[in-house]
Structure 1
Amino acid sequence: MRLAATKPAAIFLAKRQPIPTPPRSVAGTRTRSAQTQAKKSRRRSDDDRAWRVAAASSDAEADDDGDADAPARAARAGTGRRARLSARRRERVPLPDGVSGGAVGEFLRHPDGVESLLNTGALESLAPAGSGPGTFTCTLRRIGFLGFEVAPVLELRVAPTATDCTIEMLSCRFEGSESVEQQNELFSAFMSNHITWSDDGEEPCIDIDVNLEVTLEVYTKPFSMLPLSAVEKPGNLLMQGLLDRLVPILGEQILRDYDSWVQQRPEACS
């Protein structure tokens, strides 16, 4: 009887015995701990490096804001971004009754016609340039801009032929104070004005096609922190509005000066 009673007890104890688990590796635990510490150290190092770079950039920008020579240094170093602006305007000007396109073309080949195209009445001075025949240095009258006096100086080439006339802007610069003239290193401009005339059809006319392109170095805040489109889009609209206003005036001026030229020709012949 005693031997039979001991068997269930042995079975009961076997059921309650916990399942053994493999012991943890001390070396593996130490390895994972070392890897965790290394990652934390790298993150702290990266954060410190990012903070030092940001602080250095902030100090450099602060120095540029108070330094009048910063624009010139940026241009020489070539570190700035360039915004490219452009605009185009085409205008067809009907000719008055009795006026042919060939007669207008003859006027534009005359020195009086060249002066009309250059709009000498709005210039401070006009002189032949050394870039070849038909080139002129045109100095515009001084204008006030942001507290400075600025005199734009253009070098233009006028090339009239029997069928058309082309006016090109070869260069543009500003004269004034030293800080104003430093801006000449930060931009470039190109302009082309192509004039043609026609007697075909029922309505003789002259056609004016003007292209204007400007490249600007973007280095001042807040524009240097924005995408170039933030400068180019409003700049394009501004230039387009300028051409939309000036090109029709140019057509009217050519016809007005042509009429005066025709009226003076009999007096010159006499």
Structure 2
Amino acid sequence: MYASRRDACPFVLRLVTGDDGYTVTASNTASGWTLSSSSRLRNATLPVQLHLHQVQASHIVASANAKQANLSASRIQRVELPVYDDTSKGRQAYHISHFLSHPSGIQAILNTSALQNFQYLDTNAYRCTLPKLAFFNFEATPVLDLRVIPTKEDCTVELFSCKFKGSKVVERQNDYFSASMINHITWDTDISEPFLEVNVKLNLSLEIYTRPFTSLPISAVERPGNLMMQALVDGLVPSLLQQLVQDYNNWVHQQLQNS
């Protein structure tokens, strides 16, 4: 996320996901905040990429006096879930819970095909390195540590660390923000219309430590920030659901071919 001055007071905030992903822009005009978005989603991921900018030392205020903006967004959505029956044994075959606990399902949840690197950390914990971002004179690599806990009833994905790797200026930003995300995936296959449901909650805390934003009320950052984050989640969740169902279908057919 970055802010660019348009004149004495108004400014623009922009939130971007991926090189071919989803862009949300909030502009502060004389009539208030306006929100616009564009989407080229394909293999989009939930993790957020933040655009950073270098500031002069004279614009930095002491951390003890800095304000903190708390942003949040959430979305619950469900989609029709195919059920695969094993007619010879009279039961469901290759249940969605089997897929989400299988390595292929874990990779589908984390969308590893869109990552620069994917690393197993510990039981149910994974490190996801997103493609490098290049902007202005900086390069930054977002690194997300995620915990995936699949059970027979549900699957929970939790973000427990979000850092940027790059130059000292880039890595310095790690001291001024924190992020958390929980994606709770549930399903029901024992009803007439089986479904897969995703419940995503995303939170971001930003320390406001540069002028002129330190002189503005926190609401001047939180209001457009919340609008952008909600638009981001609203665009990404449907894509995630669609991709999960497609990957599940491909996995089932692969299992049938190998059996």
- Fold-level similarity (TM above 0.5): yes
Query: Is residue 137–residue 155 contact of structure 1 (8 Å, CA) maintained in 2?
Result: yes
Q: Report 1:163-202 matches (<5 A).
A: 163-202=153-192
The match for 1:80 is: 66
Instruction: Give distance in 2, aligned partners of 1:102 and 1:212.
Output: 31
The match for 1:232 is: 222
The match for 1:251 is: 241
Alpha-carbon offset, residue 268 of structure 1: 3.3
Query: Is residue 83–residue 95 contact of structure 2 (8 Å, CA) maintained in 1?
Result: no
Deviations 1:106-161 (A, max 9, x none): 110111000000100110001122xx411011100012234421110000000000
Query: Is residue 191–residue 211 contact of structure 1 (8 Å, CA) maintained in 2?
Result: yes
Q: Which has the larger radius of gyration?
A: 1
Q: Report 1:126-205 matches (<5 A).
A: 126-129=118-121, 132-205=122-195
Q: Structure 2 counterpart of 1:167, which letter? A: V
1:262 aligns with 2:252: yes
The residue matched to 1:115 in structure 2 has which SS? helix
Q: How has the CA–CA distance of structure 1 residues 97 and 138 changed in structure 2, closer, same or farther, with 3 Å as cutoff?
A: closer
Alpha-carbon offset, residue 260 of structure 1: 1.0
Q: How has the CA–CA distance of structure 1 residues 133 and 65 changed in structure 2, closer, same or farther, with 3 Å as cutoff?
A: closer
Picking from 198, 203, 227, the partner of 1:208 is 198
Alpha-carbon offset, residue 105 of structure 1: 1.6
Instruction: Give distance in 2, aligned partners of 1:116 and 1:184.
Output: 28
Q: Structure 2 counterpart of 1:240, which letter? A: Q
The match for 1:104 is: 96
1:125 aligns with 2:111: no
Q: How has the CA–CA distance of structure 1 residues 264 and 182 changed in structure 2, closer, same or farther, with 3 Å as cutoff?
A: same
Instruction: Give distance in 1, aligned partners of 2:71 and 2:104.
Output: 33
Query: Is residue 84–residue 232 contact of structure 1 (8 Å, CA) maintained in 2?
Result: yes
Instruction: Give distance in 2, aligned partners of 1:147 and 1:268.
Output: 50
The match for 1:51 is: none
Instruction: Give distance in 1, aligned partners of 2:227 and 2:115.
Output: 26
Instruction: Give distance in 2, aligned partners of 1:202 and 1:102.
Output: 18
Query: Is residue 95–residue 101 contact of structure 1 (8 Å, CA) maintained in 2?
Result: no
Deviations 1:47-104 (A, max 9, x none): xxxxxxxxxxxxxxxxx96329x76x844xx321110000001111112365779711
| Paired residue total | 200
The residue matched to 2:202 in structure 1 has which SS? strand
Picking from 102, 113, 125, the partner of 2:105 is 113
Instruction: Give distance in 1, aligned partners of 2:164 and 2:136.
Output: 14
Q: What is the Cα-based RMSD across aligned positions, in Å?
A: 2.2
Q: How has the CA–CA distance of structure 1 residues 142 and 267 changed in structure 2, closer, same or farther, with 3 Å as cutoff?
A: same
The residue matched to 2:244 in structure 1 has which SS? helix
Alpha-carbon offset, residue 266 of structure 1: 3.2
Return 5+ residue gaps in structure 2 as ranges: 1-53, 86-91
Q: How has the CA–CA distance of structure 1 residues 235 and 249 changed in structure 2, closer, same or farther, with 3 Å as cutoff?
A: same
Query: Is residue 94–residue 252 contact of structure 2 (8 Å, CA) maintained in 1?
Result: no
Q: Structure 1 counterpart of 2:70, which letter? A: R
